[in-house]
Chain A
Amino acid sequence: MEGRPAAQPVRTHPALNGLLHLQTGATYGVSSASLAALLMAGPSVDGAWCAVVGTGELGVEAAAMFGVDLDRVVVVPEPGDAWLEVVAALVDVLGVVVVRPPRNVPTPKDISRLSARLRTRGSILIVWGDWPRCDARVGLTDVEWHGAGWGNGHLKARQATVEVRKGTAPAAQRRLWLPDVDLSCHPVVEVAALAALETLGLSSVETTRSGLKGRFAPTSTTEVA
């Protein structure tokens, strides 16, 4: 086809740097709402319009916390039978379309037509749920919430390992604060690793350390990917 744009890199949330880089025309599968919001945030900051189709359950306040600009978000909670037409029409004009697949998943033929549409229009499809064909699947494991005690405190921060699977390759992993107590999302930096870097005299460490101030010590010792 003439004039078909090649896959272009799209701005991605800095917490995912080196782990996953969004590209136009691609389909990403996510397992949870916060991951959907995290993937939306990058293009949204860059001025892309986003749509959420098939669910009205994505927490808008949480999405805003991840960096999604709500002024450029439209939600189609119940597309009904017109599911595929609605998604196709939105893919035509918007930068990011988040879908919750309907109970009767579209046929492989419909899906391949939709991905062809995505590639021509340079849009990104984020599927929150099961989807037969994804360029990458992003999931959360080892979720650990901080802040809640036994009848005291409240949920403040979460550490989780983000897994990105592309095809049959082994999953790339990274431990993230999702979110941290200051509601930002960034990789977990181990205290030991931090000390090691400091002895090496790396200047970039200072900023990371200041970010750690006032935070309770991360308890996990998962490796930094």
Chain B
Amino acid sequence: MRTMVVWCPDWPVMAAMAEHPAGTPVAVFEKGMVLACNPGARADGVRRGMRRRDAQSRCPGLVVADHRPEVDARAFEDVLLAIEELSPGVAPLRPGLCALRVPEKFYAGEAEAAAVIAERLVDLGVWDVRLGVADGLFAAEQAARRSLAQDVFIVPTGESAAFLADLPIEALDATELVSLLRRMGITTLGAFARLSAADVHTRFGHHGALLHRYTRGLDPHPISRRSVPPELTAALALEPPLELVEPIAFSLRTTAERFVTDLAAHGLVCTMVRIEVDSNNRLGSVRSWMHPRWFGATDLIDRLRWQLAAGIPGAVDGVRLIPEVVEPLSDHADSLFGGAPDDRVVRGISRVQGMVGHEGVLSVGVQGGRAPADRTLTAPWGEQPAEVRPIERAWPGRIPAPAPATVFTRPAEALVVGAEGQPVVVTGRGSVTCPPERFRASSDVPWQPVASWAGPWPIEELWWDEVASRRIARFQVVGVDGSAWLMVVENGRWFTEARYD
């Protein structure tokens, strides 16, 4: 079977280079060794397998990137999609290498087909792409490795064995076997192929026998193509374009219902959706929405309505619903004895979200932190909080329980003075210059004498960061009327952070 292999050399570095400007020497390291490097680094003498220190001494401007296989795979996905557009049935072998059946009939010849694919990938920004065409996968991969950049190496039908015969034995990807064969005086694939198949099997086992078959140009493995993922995106085109929110939301109804039923047919529900709105044939607004349970048709229409209410730059001529996170329906089945929040509550709160906006309704929780405001965790209702500070850590300098009942959203400016009316200042050693005698918690409460006070709790936050570092000290101040306040002093200015009321 004629097979085409597409090879993008140094793929890890290609994937890593996306984050750096073109022309910088980049090398990807794994376990302290160079795994791949780009031509800029290679020109300075960086080689594969080199230690980090050696590589950096040869090329001082080298950008060091750690190998992240998942990034490679994700970046290669774009290449696979581009090839799939030209010819279906691509078998990804590993990031940077994939195989497909040659679409020669469609493109009128193998060289022409290869040229079309190479051109498409160069358009995509993958400038170093090499293709090989041969009778089997192994031969095609070897052909691709002998090809020039943006070119194809074609091994004619039936000549795979002859092509492979001249290649060095290192072409086999089996270090121990290669080393053994070399010691036995077998230096080319051709010499290995001339051994009797039965002898090879006896001496080297199944794996050896398989490699022996490869070298003879026999390839037992057909390409296992990946199945193209089902198309779940739903799109609505509006002709003529509409400007008002309600007609657009009404028009989306059928599309939204189809979107939900299509997903259900695959046994899926959507918990996160991206809604793209086109206006004037351009992408007008994009937003990702999450749902506490899953999206039904009416939920999708609500989200579109909110998104449109946030502002659209003109008449809308298209809406696309793209599922970002889908989960199996079975994970969301209602349990026999409840568990999911009451449907009525969910709907009611969603209605409020419709009035005040998605971020207007918050769910709350407690997280780690020092100030009471830092310990409050909020997230738009229905979304997972982005980052949660673990509460079980020590958080030195935090105020001991009980927590204040009122935590001001914006600290109010306060005034605290000593017996002679002099301002109370915290010294660098964390002690006060004079005990506070009178205070005013904010501009709208009267002055009053201090009944008792506790503190200071000095905190030096982020001392390693020149811009964000703060030196502050917290106090608990109780007035003679029984009111208790949490105050913070920073650079001699006092603020009221919270009230124990």
Given A59-B406, A155-B500, CB of A93 within 8 Å of CB of B484: no
Q: How far is the CB of A156 from the nearest CB of chain B, in Å? A: 8
Contacts of B403 in A (CB 8 A): 59, 61-62, 65
**A75 proximal to B (CB < 8 A):** yes
Tell me whether A70 and B349 are in contact (CB under 8 A). no
**B408 proximal to A (CB < 8 A):** yes
Contacts of A82 in B (CB 8 A): 355-356
Would you list 18 pairs from A and B whose C-beta atoms are within 8 A, ordered by A residue?
A: A34-B500, A49-B342, A57-B407, A59-B407, A59-B498, A61-B376, A62-B402, A65-B402, A74-B363, A75-B361, A75-B378, A76-B362, A77-B362, A93-B342, A145-B484, A152-B454, A155-B476, A155-B500
Tell me whether A158 and B500 are in contact (CB under 8 A). yes
Tell me whether B360 and A76 are in contact (CB under 8 A). yes
Report, nearest first, the 10 A-B pairs whose CB atoms are least far apart: A93-B348, A143-B482, A61-B403, A33-B405, A34-B405, A148-B454, A32-B501, A62-B405, A148-B452, A62-B403
Tell me whether A93 and B366 are in contact (CB under 8 A). no
Given A70-B364, A74-B362, CB of A59 within 8 Å of CB of B405: yes
Number of interface residues of A (CB under 8 A): 54
Contacts of A147 in B (CB 8 A): 454
Given A145-B482, A154-B399, CB of A73 within 8 Å of CB of B364: yes
CA distance A154 to B486 in the complex (A): 11
Tell me whether A90 and B500 are in contact (CB under 8 A). no
Q: How far is the CB of B297 from the nearest CB of chain A, in Å? A: 21
Contacts of B454 in A (CB 8 A): 147-149, 151-155
Chain A residue nearest to B477 in the complex (CB): A148
Tell me whether B375 and A61 are in contact (CB under 8 A). yes
Given A73-B364, A74-B363, A89-B348, CB of A143 within 8 Å of CB of B402: no
Q: How far is the CB of B457 from the nearest CB of chain A, in Å? A: 9
Q: Interface extent on B, as a size class?
A: 35 or more
Contacts of B347 in A (CB 8 A): 93
Contacts of B344 in A (CB 8 A): 93
How does the 8 Å CB contact mask read for B196-230 relative to A, with 1 for contact and 0 for none?
00000000000000000000000000000000000
Contacts of B482 in A (CB 8 A): 142-145, 160
CA distance A192 to B499 in the complex (A): 33
Contacts of A106 in B (CB 8 A): none
In chain B between 348 and 380, which residues have their CB closer than 8 angstroms to a CB of chain A? 348-349, 351-352, 355-356, 360-366, 372, 375-378
How does the 8 Å CB contact mask read for B403-423 relative to A, with 1 for contact and 0 for none?
111111100000000000000
Contacts of A89 in B (CB 8 A): 348, 351-352, 355
Tell me whether A85 and B405 are in contact (CB under 8 A). no
CA distance A149 to B455 in the complex (A): 9
Q: How far is the CB of A126 from the nearest CB of chain B, in Å? A: 14
Tell me whether B453 and A148 are in contact (CB under 8 A). yes
CA distance A89 to B482 in the complex (A): 38
Chain A residue nearest to B432 in the complex (CB): A151
**A43 proximal to B (CB < 8 A):** no
Chain A residue nearest to B366 in the complex (CB): A61
